[in-house]
Amino acid sequence: MAEVTLEIYKDKNNSFRWRRRAVNGEIIGASSEGYESKKACEANATRDMSGDIWEFYKDKKGEHRWRATSPANGRQVGKCTEGYKSSASCKANAKANGYPG
């Protein structure tokens, strides 16, 4: 997948969140929760996600999606932000967000 940019921003509740953008500007992954500190948000966004539980599924529209859950606390730590027509495209997106393959 092409180069990806990591963004840290504040949401409407004044919590820090992360998202990854592709070169074309589309958001390809995002945090599943807000963080009180920028440091905690950055730590989540840049941590090794290879040990996470990665789930691939089809949404209500029949499109492929992924989400990652921390085995340490069972909380969702990342998700895709759009559905994909093919499983391969979804997995390529997941790899850009830390999926070990």
Domain ranges of the chain: 4-96
The reported pLDDT for the residue numbered 1 is: 46
pLDDT at 75 over 70: yes
Residue 2: per-residue pLDDT: 56
CATH class for the region spanning 4-96: mainly beta
End-to-end CA distance of the chain: 13
Q: Which of 2, 84, 72, 85 is nearest to 44 (CA)?
A: 72
pLDDT of 49 higher than 80: yes
pLDDT at 50: 86
Average pLDDT rounded to a whole number, residues 54-66: 97
Q: Which helix (H) or strand (E) holds 74?
A: none
3-34 pLDDT per residue, tens: 889 999 999 999 999 999 988 899 999 998 99
